[in-house]
Copies of this chain bind each other. A is one copy, B any other.
Amino acid sequence: MKPRVVIVGGGFGGLACARALDGEPVDVLLIDGHNYHLFTPLLYQVATALLNPSDIVYPFRTIFRRSPNVRFRQAFVTGVDMQARVVRTRDEERIPYDYLVLASGSTNNYYGHPELSRFTIGMKTIPEALRLRNHVLSCLELAAREGSIEEKRHWLTFVVVGGGPTGVEYSGALNELLKIVLGRDFPELSPSLARIVLVEGSERLLHFFSPELGAYAKRILTARGIEVHTGTVLEKAAESSVTLSTGEVITARTVVWSAGVRPTEPTADAHLPRSRSKRLEVDEHLRVKGVEGVYAIGDLASVRQDGGELPMLSPPAMQGGRYAARAILTVVRGRSVEDLRPFRYVDKGVMATIGRNAAVAQTGPLKISGFLGWLTWLVVHIYYLIGFRNRLAVLASWAWNYIRKDRSIRIIARSEADPLTEEMETGRGTPPRAAPGAGG
């Protein structure tokens, strides 16, 4: 029997690992709470009615259709028994492994203020992005209904907390959406009623980027009418207002949370060593310290390099996933992981788009901004998307949007509550139709 590798999480890291093990002499089981891989860099375009969710996701089963040694299981991992070498799921399944790769990524970080999750909308998953899209479009309809200008303004005030790539990209895209539809599709409203406030705690936007590019982003956003408050934090969020550290109180019906992420806890029961940032401590071969046969990668792993922790971004996750696969195959083939050169992340650069014809990209000493940066951003993102159909669909939507200056997916549409779906999507539902003892 072939050694069994279980990968927990099908984000950029877990997927890269599974792909690197495709066709190799191991049996791979990839576990994820969703049935699809999500291309998170374009999530903000789903949230702003430019793309369909299906354009930026790809079902795991389709990815591995022709890979007999890679299987998929939709499930929520609740713990790991490191002694018995068994992964536990919420459905009381016990899944044995010989090698385990922990790649469950990160989730919204509210920094000890759980009430923020009630008053703000995050943007880490498809359900969150759809919620944000529906919410913003509902705000426009409600603003249109209001009689008083004052009330219209409240519905049309959007506070975005966090000036990293997500916050910057979302603010820029939301601004374009509002410019397109207010006035033209909403004769009851004018673009001048809308207000977007971007709040960032540190002194500059895009802190993974060089200071010049952060300043460029701020300049462009400001020129396009977005209020950018750097060096400012959210002091308090309530029912329909936020208080900034500057003392300003803003009445807003929408607060978007993109101020940070924290590692998930798939092994909360195992008391594994964690760094100050709560990421799992790993050795130079990405093995979780103190246990055997367990690797951690991506946002979940604390990898120190050049005096700092690797950032929670997709490139380190993908490189880590491929390295973990190589390490496992080395052991499977009877050699020692110590024979491998330690994992070393190669930084190929970062990029973010700010809006029409404007983006920033940085690779090594090279810094690109403006239209050229924007083109670079387009090409790189299309290249990394999975699936020919998705590439085609995204390119077509972008072309349509660019030429027609329109957003076509401007619909307020949720799916009706289905107990089974809720169960599969959130792991919190109680499916009335689920067979007792399912998962045997």
Q: Interface residues, chain A, CB within 8 Å of chain B?
A: 34-36, 52-54, 57, 59, 61-62, 65, 68, 71, 73-75, 91, 93, 121, 125-128, 130-131, 133-135, 137-139, 141-142, 144-148, 151, 154, 181, 184-188, 239-240, 253, 387, 389, 392, 396, 400, 408-418, 420-425, 432-435, 438-440
Contact = CB atoms under 8 A, between A and B. Distances in A.
A151 B435 contact: yes
30 contacts: A34-B413, A36-B413, A52-B52, A52-B54, A54-B411, A57-B413, A59-B411, A65-B185, A68-B187, A71-B187, A91-B145, A121-B418, A125-B416, A127-B413, A130-B413, A130-B414, A131-B415, A131-B417, A134-B415, A134-B424, A135-B420, A138-B423, A142-B434, A146-B439, A151-B438, A240-B433, A253-B433, A389-B408, A412-B421, A412-B424
Given A240-B433, A433-B239, A421 B411 contact: no
A96 to B, nearest CB: 15
B411 A57 contact: yes
Given A147-B440, A148-B440, A440-B148, A400 B389 contact: yes
Contacts of A408: 54, 387, 389
A35 B144 CA distance: 12
Given A36-B411, A413-B53, A418 B131 contact: yes
Given A139-B420, A142-B420, A253-B433, 12 more contacts: A34-B411, A62-B410, A71-B188, A74-B412, A127-B414, A131-B417, A134-B415, A138-B421, A147-B440, A148-B440, A414-B418, A414-B425
Contacts of A412: 34-36, 74, 421, 424-425
